Every structure is written in structure tokens, then in C-alpha cells.
């Protein structure tokens, strides 16, 4: 049995769809982004890294700029890194339309074009499960963070439930799929304990972890999916109807933060 390969080239062809309500990428913007942004804002406020201190924020795998723009709107100085020229062109255009000053630069997570110890905050969302070398990415995150700096992340857990929901239901089965095949592949999903071990090897101390799951009942989720599949609602509305929230259950996805040790 052949192991499927993740299709990261997908984002070079769908770049115009980042900010479209009719694209599956709207699920990130309306369904997942609000929950994780609220979680990250609370972390930053309680850690003393509020925008009034003008910290430097690096968004790795920034895509069309959902997180980068959110942090810029809060007053942070933001740099966004992405491997796709086409995607970066959309991110720059949208930031300009919103009158946001964000520095976007081409680069890969395994070899960041960023000086050592120059970032107060690094965020990496919807990315860790896509990279070629997770240990190298974690090493690069540690390299560019200042001592005491924060690493914010979310990713997908590698469990039977995540295989069913994120791969079979979301991608493979015609009646339920909402994204192209191989957008994600199960063997690249990451168990929390494995990520914590990699963080510790780079002197990044995991400070908190939270599940990320639907804030509605399974029946409400099925009804919302049926409405979208029948053409009665957009992908953006489907994301709103699903309403991902911070929760205890980490079986599908999780988010958290780590702090770089001083010295």
C-alpha cells in the first residue's frame, strides 16, 4: 500500500481563493481562526507581550495573511513567511487594501530568512503537519526566538478520530468532503507528546495546550455540512456554523504555546 504524499503545491494554484467565502480555505478564516486568535490573545496579554511593548511577531506559513493581519490590527510588528510566491502576492495585496503594514517574505520553515534571536513571538498555524522536517522547523523556531520569547501553534493530532474526520470525512468521501484530496495526510499529523519532546530538545518549554474542536453538537455539524453540500450556504457560513472552540478534547486538533528558555 502506497503512502500518500501531501499536496503542498495546492496553494500555488488556489492562491486567489484565500479570502473568498466560496473556497474551502474560508473554513480556516471563519471556523478556526476566531477560536485560536482569542486563545493567542489571552496568552499574549497574560505573558506581558502586549502590543504596547511593540514586539516582533513572525507568522510562519502565513498563507493569505489571516493571522498576520489579525496581529497587525492589534498593533504588533508582523513579518509573514511563506513558500508560495503566488500566495504572498495575495497576502500583500489584501494587507494593502486593509491599510496594514506587514512585511511579507518568501521562505520555508526549515530555513527561515530571519536573524537569530530577533523575534519576540513566533506563530505557526496550519503548518506543522505540512512540513518536510518537523525537527528542523522546531530548531529554526528556537533559533529566531529571543530568550523568553513565545511560540504559538496549532496542528492536527495523529489519532484514529483525526483520520476519520480530517482525512476520510473532510477529503476522501464524495458525499462529505469539503477540501481536495491530500490537503492533509494522516502520517504527518503530530501527537502532542511527540511535539513536546521536540520542543524540549530545543529549550522550548511547553506552557499550555488546549484541544480545538467544534462548538456545536454532531447533529448541528451534520446539518450545517448538508446545507453547504446542497448549495444553501457558503464555505464561510459552514465555518461559522461549526464554530471551533478551545476545549479539553485534543483527539482531532490542538493548540498551545511554549516559551524559549533564557540563557
Q: What is the pLDDT of residues 133-166, one digit of tens each?
A: 999 999 999 999 999 999 999 999 999 999 999 9
Which sign does the torsion angle of CA 244, 249, 252, 253 carry? positive
Query: Which residue, among 144, 81, 153, 150, has the nearest Cα to 121 in the 3D structure?
Result: 150
CA distances (Å), 66 to each of 18, 39, 123, 244, 249, in order? 9, 15, 12, 16, 25
Distance in angstroms (rounded) separating the CA atoms of residues 221 and 243: 9
Q: What pLDDT shows up at residue 46?
A: 87
Q: What pLDDT shows up at residue 262?
A: 86
pLDDT at 238 over 70: yes
Considering the chain, what is the average pLDDT of its residues? 94
Mean pLDDT of 110-129: 97
Of the pLDDT bands very low, low, confident and very high (cuts 50, 70, 90), residue 51 is low
> What pTM value is reported for the model?
0.95
Q: What pLDDT shows up at residue 55?
A: 86
Distance in angstroms (rounded) separating the CA atoms of residues 22 and 28: 12
DSSP 230: T
Q: What pLDDT shows up at residue 52?
A: 59
Of 3 and 181, more confident: 181
Q: Which residues of 96-127 are buried (b: 16+ CB within 10 A; e: fewer)?
A: eeeebebebeebbbeebebeeeebbbbbbbbb
What domains can be seen in the chain, in order of their start residue?
A: 10-156+182-209+255-260 (3.40.50.150)
CB atoms within 10 A of CB 141: 28
And the C-alpha cell for 68? Answer: 498576520
Mean pLDDT of 204-216: 96
Q: What is the pLDDT of residues 58-86, one digit of tens each?
A: 999 999 999 999 999 999 999 999 999 99
Q: What is the pLDDT of residues 9-20, one digit of tens each?
A: 988 888 889 999
pLDDT at 54 over 80: no
DSSP 3-state of 229: helix
Query: Which residue, among 134, 106, 102, has the nearest Cα to 204 in the 3D structure?
Result: 134
Distance in angstroms (rounded) separating the CA atoms of residues 188 and 72: 30
Residue appearing with cell numbers 486538533: 253
Amino acid at each position: 500500500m502506497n503512502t500518500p504524499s501531501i499536496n503542498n503545491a495546492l496553494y500555488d494554484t488556489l492562491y486567489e481563493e484565500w479570502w473568498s467565502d466560496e473556497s474551502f480555505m474560508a473554513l480556516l478564516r471563519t471556523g478556526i481562526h476566531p477560536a485560536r486568535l482569542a486563545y493567542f490573545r489571552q496568552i499574549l496579554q497574560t505573558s506581558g507581550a502586549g502590543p504596547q511593548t511593540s514586539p516582533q511577531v513572525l507568522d510562519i506559513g502565513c498563507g493569505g495573511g489571516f493571522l498576520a493581519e489579525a496581529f497587525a490590527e492589534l498593533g504588533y510588528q508582523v513579518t509573514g513567511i511563506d513558500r508560495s510566491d503566488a500566495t504572498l502576492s495575495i497576502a500583500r495585496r489584501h494587507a494593502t487594501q486593509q491599510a496594514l503594514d506587514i512585511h511579507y517574505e518568501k521562505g520555508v520553515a526549515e530555513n527561515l530568512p530571519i536573524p537569530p534571536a530577533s523575534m519576540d513571538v513566533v506563530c505557526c498555524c496550519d503548518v506543522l503537519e505540512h512540513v518536510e522536517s518537523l525537527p528542523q522547523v522546531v530548531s529554526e523556531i528556537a533559533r529566531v526566538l529571543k530568550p523568553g520569547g513565545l511560540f504559538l501553534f496549532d496542528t492536527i493530532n495523529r489519532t484514529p478520530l483525526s483520520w476519520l474526520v480530517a482525512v476520510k470525512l473532510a477529503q476522501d468521501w464524495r458525499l462529505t468532503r469539503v477540501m481536495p484530496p491530500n490537503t492533509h495526510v494522516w502520517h504527518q499529523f503530530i501527537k502532542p507528546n511527540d511535539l513536546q519532546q521536540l520542543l524540549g530538545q530545543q529549550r522550548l518549554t511547553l506552557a499550555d495546550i488546549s484541544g480545538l474542536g467544534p462548538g456545536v453538537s454532531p447533529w448541528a455539524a451534520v446539518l450545517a455540512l448538508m446545507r453547504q453540500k446542497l448549495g444553501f450556504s457558503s464555505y464561510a457560513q459552514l465555518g461559522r456554523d461549526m464554530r471551533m472552540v478551545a476545549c479539553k478534547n485534543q483527539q482531532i486538533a490542538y493548540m498551545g504555546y511554549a516559551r524559549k528558555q533564557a540563557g
